[in-house]
Amino acid sequence: MTARILVVDDVEANVRLLEAKLTIEYYDVLTCSDGATAVRLAADEKPDIILLDVMMPGMDGFETCRRIKADPASSHIPIVLVTALDGREDRIKGLEAGADDFVTKPIDDVVLFARVRSLTRLKMIMDELREREDASRRLGVATDGAGRLRGSGGRVLVVDDNDRQAARIAEELIREHRPAIETDAAAGLAASKTPIDLMIVNVAAAEFDGLRLIAQVRSAETTRHLPILAVVDPADRPRLVKALELGVNDILTKPVDPEELAARARTQVRRKRYTDFLREKLDYSLEMAVTDALTGLHNRRYMAGQLQAFVSRAGLGGEPVSVLVMDIDHFKAVNDGFGHDAGDEVLREFAVRLATNVRAVDLPCRLGGEEFVVVMPGTDMEDARRIAERIRRDVGSTPFRVMGGREHLTVTISIGVAACSGPGDTPEALLKRADEGVYEAKAAGRDRVIARVA
């Protein structure tokens, strides 16, 4: 796994050393020597990871980190602070500035590359989600969720057989989050599948294998995106590195510092909220791409793709497929006499009545305006005609209540029915026959069903 990495350090020797190490591992490396240039490069070049020295003249690493994270163009880029300072206050200050991780000088190559790989995996996921979000916004189906992203607190699962340590962690978390404790791996694995925002695992637990638990969580489809914070002994380097290789999002070293725990947990919960938000927006965008916003029925695009597949199968000897094309009679008079809001109410109510009169396997769709289609797989002409009559009677039997119930409108529909005729039939020909049935029904006085054979 490769990545593009920006190295920021005012000491030339440090820059060249890091550049050489990263290049040997096939990373693409950019370099600069001051904070202002780093802020500009982060926005312009959009590297995958930034290795940022803390002690620089002028704008130090903390301020540089804050500015990069404050810019929407670069806020999603993981930042690793590189520092000779190993003090608690500096770690907390860096995390509060938005840093994603720390490495201390002299740099341990194994730990550095394990952290780079872990953050690269995260960046790849974030990039994909952001690209899809941008595409959704260009299509006009983006949604607003900023309020939810600003919320604080999350559901945190602590899996630790050390009762005293688990209690201290929960005691610190409860000030901002909703922690729960499990003392064995089986219960922790089960609890990880519930709606939680962060999992904290003691990888040095005596009663269970914390690394195996992490691997199980990462391998399950329902939990592979769950943020995991691993509690490790800093002297146990093999476990620390293995935890990162397995995909933990962050490391918390013993003895657990309360303020560092709070800062790292807050960062992971916020990131989980952001990725969840982007995934929800993606799901919403996909739904909107195939759904009519007014009625909630499928739209023309979805109908066309599905009908093509059904007709192709029917042409190869598969089950038959029929379509109903229907048009609301005198709909323009509703809009002209009662306004477009009343017209929209009629369309929504019609969609409800249509959907409740067809099978679960049928596809009721809105083509546009007052025109609707139902694609009916496994249905021959006679069955389709009978269902069309049922829909027509249900629509015309009960008036539509509009304008808050002040008006009751009698609505009728004209329906054309067609069935796939054989190997040479096409979706376009099938819809054209049904559409011709609609015109014939309207010419014959409306409020009727006309079936058209090939």
Using the Cα atoms of residue 444, residue 445, residue 446 and residue 448 in order, give the sign of their dihedral: negative
Within 8 A by CB and 6+ apart from 221, the residues are none
Give the span between the Cα atoms of 21 and 377, in whole angstroms.
61
Task: List the beta bridge partners of residue 183.
Answer: none
Active site residue 45: no
Q: How far is CA 223 from CA 59, 199, 454, in A?
A: 40, 10, 53
DSSP letter (8 states) at residue 225: T
Closest alpha carbon to 117 in 219, 232, 221, 3: 3
Q: Per the residue annotation, which of 176, 182, 370, 407 is the catalytic one?
A: 370
- Please give the sequence-ordered ranges of beta strands (E in DSSP) within 84-173, or none if there are none: 101-104, 155-159
- Tokens 């249509």 correspond to what residue? 354
- Tokens 């009545």 correspond to what residue? 353
Cis preceding-peptide flag for 364 (omega within 30 of 0): no
For residue 411, the SS3 value is: coil
Catalytic residues: 370
